[in-house]
Structures are given as structure tokens and as C-alpha cells.
Amino acid sequence: MSISAGELNEFEVEAAAWFAENKPGDPGFLLPQSFMEVGTDQQFEFLRDWQRKVYEAGYLGLAWPAEYGGGGKHQAFQDIATAEMARQKVPFMTNTIGLSWAGPLILNMGTEAQKQAYIKRILSAEDIWCQGFSEPDNGSDLGNAQLRAVRDGDEFVLNGSKIWTSLGSYADYMILLARSNSETNTKYEGLSYFLSPMKIPGIDPVPIRKLTGEYGFTQTFFDNARIPDSCLIGEEGKGWQVAMKTLTFERAVSGGQAGGVHSMPVFAGEVVELARHAQRDGRPAIEDPLIRDQLVAFLIEERGLELNNQRAQIPGLNTEWPGAIAMARKLTNSEWRQRLNLFAVTLQGANASRYVDDALAIDGGRWQRGYFNSFSSTIGGGTSQIQKNIVGERVLGLPKSA
């Protein structure tokens, strides 16, 4: 597919104008900072409607196949639209799990019927998706998942519970990893992977309160819930491989996501602005040499991470440890974001002690809340420690951790 620079520029101008015109104003209530923090019906409906609007305007799923509701265009168009969303700081696309993990997975290995049934409704946010991987006793050790899926004719009967289910309260479907056979040689065999409906008898999502006091995820109980075996994706007993594939989408090691931003973007430049207003010794904090040094360190790191994305595209500059940048991206970006949020809090001097809803909270307490919420990305989707194991083992070739 060849595209001209002119076409792309034209598209960019269009996209910039559309987002500028259609960017929702202040909804009058606090919006979540990422898809993992959607805690009220009001927030959810607002974000779902926004996603539908963006999709209908042609700025989401641009590179997904047209026959399933995508735009059928080159990825470059979607990248432009996504960059525009970040730049204009529009609200994020709330159906992240559908758009970025379940969707690419279904396109990659789903049946024709599954593609027909789900892809378009993921883009339009008619179907919201959630992920049922973690369990109360099995988190990092995902392969040890124990939720039971027992075959009964052409159905599976589900019993057990999943936990930390983001969007669990709102989801229509779940990508579900469950144990269909408990008598196997290794824990990795005997797992099966399902595209399971959520709104059926026997499935009950119960909200859990987060460290910020808000809601966003659930413990999801399964009590003799029955689903047809057409919900399987991949072969019965081969669920581990499907789960690993999912994680490559989730951690953006593989491409093919529908696009869009999935959290409120944070830029080091915003913290620079904060430093202009914060005070130290009767002067703007930005004049303090120690603070200046830290600001610059954040700017260097932000730039390095941006440039990494460009360099990752050039094979000749990735000969030593191919794939290192992509494999480490979740680790590097989530850790940077966490440190930046915390620094923004500490910059505020005594005002760092205020929190959201305090009349004098700086930027509405965004940084304090952002710092707490930043742990969603250093824990969710595989903790930073697990990411370091993975990069150490798969990229650097070090022996598996004991």
C-alpha cells in the first residue's frame, strides 16, 4: 500500500481540525486518568459515547480491515490520528482491552464468525471488553490460573473467581483464561482461552475500591456459568499460547492495535510549567538549580523514550539486542511516568499535601491522584519486576530466575 506524504498531511490537517472542534468540554465531574480507573456510570457513559463519536468520525481502527468495520487504511493514518489525540489531550478510548488486546487477538487468530461478531462492536464501544487473567491466588504466576472450565457437551461450565478485572462492572465480554484440564504434566497445559459473555447467569462482578478511594476494577465471581464451546479461541488446552500472544499486544510488543490514547497523557513540559509557578525561597522553583537538574533529567528521558520509538524502526540500529526497545517499553514508560508524577507532587512545596477536592489543590490534585494511579501500569499487565525478568531473560539471554 503506497501512500503519499501529501495524503498524510491532508489527513493530519483534517484530524487536527476535527479533534479541535469536537473535543468534549469539561464534563463537570472528575474524569478517570486511564481505562483502569473508570469507576462511575457517569464516567463510563461519557467515555463510551466519546469513543463511538471518534470511531464514527473515522479516527479509530483506521488500519483494521474494512470488512469488519475498520478503516482498511495504512497504519500511518491511525498513528497520525492517535498522535493528534495525545497532542490535544482529548479523553481516552475507554474500550482499551477490546481495542488493543482482544481485538488484535481476534483478528490474528479468531474464527471468521468471531471477527464478524466482535470487531466492529469493539470499535464502536457497543461491546465493552474486560480481561480475566489474574486470580486472588495467582497473579504474576499467570500460568497457575485455577478458575475451572469443565466441558459439558458443547458447553463449558465456569467456576471460581477472577480479580482486578478492569471495567468489570461495565463489560459485555471477557477474554478469559481458565483451566479446562487439571491433570496435565505442567501447569501451562490444560489451560483454555475463551471469549466469554459477561452478562449471563452465574457471572457476578463485585467492585473493589482502589487506593485513591475511587472504583475501577472488580472481583468477578463465576458460579456455574455456562458458555458455548464456540467461545473458545485457539484450541482447547492451548490457552497458554493464546495468553502469551495477548500479552504481546497488551505490552505493545506486537502491533495491530486499533489505536487511540488509553490514558491521560503526561508530558514533562507540563511539570516544567508547574515549576514556574511553584515557589522556593521566595522565587519560582524553576530557578532552583537542583530542581532544574531534575527537570532536565526528565526531559532527557522523555526524549530518549520518544526517540526509541523511531530507532526501533531502523533494523541497522538494532543489531545487538533486536526487540529490546519494544520488550522494555512497558517497563520504561510506566516507571518514567510514575517518577514524573511523584516529582510533580513534591514540586508543590507544602501544597503537595493537598488532594483532589481541596479547593486549593494545585491542578485539582491531578498529580497526587496521578502518582497513585501510576501504579496501575507498574503493577497491571505484569509488574515492573516481572518485566525485568522478561527483558533479562529474553533479550539479554540471562538464565531464568530461581
Ligand X SMILES: Cc1cc2nc3c(=O)[nH]c(=O)nc-3n(C[C@H](O)[C@H](O)[C@H](O)COP(=O)(O)OP(=O)(O)OC[C@H]3O[C@@H](n4cnc5c(N)ncnc54)[C@H](O)[C@@H]3O)c2cc1C
Binding residues for ligand X (CB under 6 A): 36, 130-134, 139-140, 164-166, 217, 376, 379-383, 385-386, 389, 401
* Of the candidate residues 88, 181, 351, 389, the single one contacting another protein (CB under 8 A): 389
Considering the rule CB under 8 A, would residue 289 count as an interface residue with another protein? Answer: yes
* Rounded Cα–Cα distance for residues 258 and 62 (Å): 7
Q: In whole angstroms, what is the distance from residue 304 CA to residue 292 CA? A: 18
Angle between helix 75-87 and 5-22 (nearest 10): 40
Q: Smallest gap, in angstroms, from Cβ of residue 192 to ligand X?
A: 16
Is residue 2 a contact residue for another protein (CB under 8 A)? no
Residues 69-98 that bind another protein (CB under 8 A): 80
- 72 or 139, CB closer to ligand X? 139
Rounded-to-integer distance, Cα 390 and Cα 402, Å: 13
In the list another protein, ligand X, none, the entry touching 108 (Cβ below 5 to 8 angstroms by class) is none
How far is residue 401's CA from residue 93's CA, in Å, rounded to a whole number?
37
Nearer to ligand X (CB atom), residue 96 or residue 114: 96
Least distance between ligand X and beta carbon 139 (Å): 2
Q: Which is nearer to another protein, 224 or 385 (CB)?
A: 385
For the question of residue 21 being annotated catalytic, the response is no
d(CA 332, CA 251): 11
Residue type present at position 305 = L
Catalytic-labelled residue, pool 37, 135, 250, 302: 250
Q: What is the CA radius of gyration of the chain?
A: 22
Site size with another protein, rule: CB under 8 A: 48
Q: Which of 235, 311, 322, 353 binds another protein (CB under 8 A)?
A: 311
**Spatial contact of 167 and 215, defined as CB atoms under 8 Å apart:** no
By CB under 8 A, tell whether 292 contacts another protein. yes
Nearer to ligand X, 194 or 298 (CB): 194
Residue 172 grid cell: 459485555
Largest CA distance in the chain: 76
- The grid coordinates of residue 224 equal 456455574
Q: What distance lies between CA 343 and its chain's CA centroid?
A: 23
CA distance 120 to 305: 32
How many CB atoms are closer than 10 A to CB 217?
25
Q: Is 200 in the site for another protein (CB under 8 A)?
A: no
**Measured distance CA(215)–CA(287) in Å, rounded:** 39
Among 41, 137, 297, 346, binds another protein (CB under 8 A): 297
User: In the complex with another protein, which residue's Cβ is closer, 8 or 379?
Assistant: 8
Residues lying near another protein in the complex (CB under 8 A): 5, 8-9, 12, 80, 272, 275, 286, 289, 292-293, 295-297, 299-301, 303-305, 307-308, 310-311, 314, 316-317, 320-321, 324-325, 328, 331-332, 385, 388-389, 391-393, 395-402
